[in-house]
């Protein structure tokens, strides 16, 4: 008996016993007719429903042709189903802990907020797809404020104008430490209004999140078409990739990897160049955020429309006074040096270690790194460790000039994955010539 046949038998014979149903898209699509029939029946023990079905349907807020689970799913806490019209009429809606909505084409902000208002125990909310939200202009019927004190995770994937979506989020009041994951990839150019509302969102949710969470790491990627700021929470929840159903008595709680952690992300990615003032404005929106607890920083600046002397960028760097470890690249190091000329204080004063996993992919990397290390040493804040994070066999180029950086510890790995350390100034610069294979590599 094949896996699909087994799954079919379970759905046909054990539906009333199933507590967790999590099926991969391929299998769910092949069994869509059977699953749709089962979704018309009561599900007395079903707690988690994660079934991506591909079939022609209406928008997620349109009532389906039948009440989901015949209106009876007293244990249901997680609903996640691609392209299944969401039936908001069922009494089980008020008990949901997680709601994942997909492929929305023409949503009403009023209906969405009123729907969320019926879920006082909601802990995670996610929406993906085309996500065109329609707010309308009716001053006599203002959008309701929705307080969700248990909401800890919001994931929003949007392509349409963000200004209207902001009006929804602006009326949603989650827990103080709620994590927000925003991925905005518009199909048209960002407008000035879009940038303004995105900045308001980043400032408001970012300041609340970083004031209420333990945050020791931060990721910032600035490019010509992208602004990407992320924090991965140190607190993780168990996650199951669950591709099958379960009728056991165990308390299974599968999560999508993006909402399984209470984290924060603000990602704006355009098909064309970001507007000229976008990076400057987004960095300015970070001014209320508390980054004094950040110890690890991943920073990449490549082709961004941003000056090394940008005041908002400098203010952002000044807020990172506790960073001890930075993962970056030679081009970004050069950007930092350029911006240091008109500064009275040293950037990242606590920085001790620089990690550069792809340093050798830049042709003049040794020179750029040497300039950065020399600048830090003459400024009285020398770098102690330079970690190349790659096996010797995969490293390229001659880094032997770095042997003049007295006391610097350089790190890479041998063919067995063992950590190799070299103290610069030891008189063996050939150890740093990765264009040749030294005797120790074959040992």
Per-block mean pLDDT, blocks of 10 residues, the chain (443 long)? 78 90 74 79 92 54 66 91 68 91 65 89 85 57 90 88 80 91 89 92 93 90 96 54 37 40 86 93 96 96 94 96 96 94 87 89 87 95 93 80 96 86 94 71 44
Q: Tell if the pTM clears 0.95, that is, is over it.
A: no
> What three-state secondary structure class fits 232?
coil
- Lookup: tokens for 12: 């046909």
Q: Is the separation of the CB atoms in 55 and 83 below 8 Å?
A: yes
Nearest CA-CA partner of 30 in 12, 52, 13, 57: 52
The domain ranges of the chain are 356-443
List residues bridging with 181 in a β-sheet: 155, 265
pLDDT at 127: 84
pLDDT at 306: 95
Strands 133-134 and 153-158, sheet pairing: unpaired
pLDDT at 360: 67
pLDDT at 400: 94
Q: Is the separation of the CB atoms in 111 and 138 below 8 Å?
A: no
pLDDT at 53: 63
């Amino acid at each position: 008996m094949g896996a699909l046949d087994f799954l079919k038998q379970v759905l046909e014979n054990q539906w009333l016993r199933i507590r967790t149903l999590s099926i991969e898209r391929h299998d769910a699509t092949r069994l869509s007719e059977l699953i749709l029939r089962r979704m018309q029946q009561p599900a007395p023990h079903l707690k988690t429903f994660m079934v991506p079905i591909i079939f022609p349907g209406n928008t997620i807020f349109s009532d389906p042709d039948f009440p989901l689970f015949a209106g009876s799913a007293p244990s249901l806490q997680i609903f996640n189903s691609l392209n299944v019209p969401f039936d908001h009429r069922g009494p089980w809606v008020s008990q949901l802990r997680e709601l994942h909505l997909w492929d929305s084409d023409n949503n009403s902000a009023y209906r969405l907020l009123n729907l969320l208002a019926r879920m006082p125990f909601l802990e995670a909310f996610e929406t993906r797809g085309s996500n065109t939200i329609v707010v309308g202009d009716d001053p006599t019927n203002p959008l309701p404020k929705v307080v969700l004190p248990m909401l800890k995770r919001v994931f929003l994937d949007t392509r349409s104008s963000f200004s209207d979506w902001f009006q929804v989020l602006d009326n949603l009041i989650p827990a103080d430490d709620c994590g927000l994951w925003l991925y905005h990839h518009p199909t048209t150019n960002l407008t000035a209004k879009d940038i303004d509302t995105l900045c308001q969102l980043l400032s408001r949710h970012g300041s609340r999140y970083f004031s209420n969470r333990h945050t020791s790491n931060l990721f910032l990627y600035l490019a010509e078409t992208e602004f990407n700021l992320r924090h991965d929470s140190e607190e993780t929840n168990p996650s199951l990739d669950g591709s099958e159903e379960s009728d056991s008595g165990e308390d299974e709680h599968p999560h999508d990897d993006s909402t399984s952690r209470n984290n924060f992300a603000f990602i704006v990615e355009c098909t064309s160049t970001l507007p000229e003032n976008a990076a400057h404005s987004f960095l300015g929106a970070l001014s209320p955020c508390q980054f004094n607890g950040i110890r690890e920083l991943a920073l990449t600046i490549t082709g961004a429309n941003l000056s090394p002397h940008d005041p908002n960028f400098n203010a952002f760097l000044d807020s990172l006074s506790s960073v001890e470890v930075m993962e970056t690249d030679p081009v970004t190091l050069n950007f930092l040096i350029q911006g240091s000329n008109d500064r009275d204080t040293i950037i990242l004063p606590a920085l001790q270690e620089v990690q550069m996993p792809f340093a050798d992919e830049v042709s003049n990397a040794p020179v750029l790194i040497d300039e950065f290390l020399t600048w830090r040493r003459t400024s009285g804040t020398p770098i102690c460790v330079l970690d190349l994070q790659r096996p010797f066999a995969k490293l390229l180029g001659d880094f032997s000039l770095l042997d003049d950086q007295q006391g610097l510890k350089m790190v890479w790995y041998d063919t067995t994955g063992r950590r190799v350390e070299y103290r610069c100034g030891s008189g063996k610069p050939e150890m740093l010539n990765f264009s040749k294979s030294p005797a120790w590599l074959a040992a």
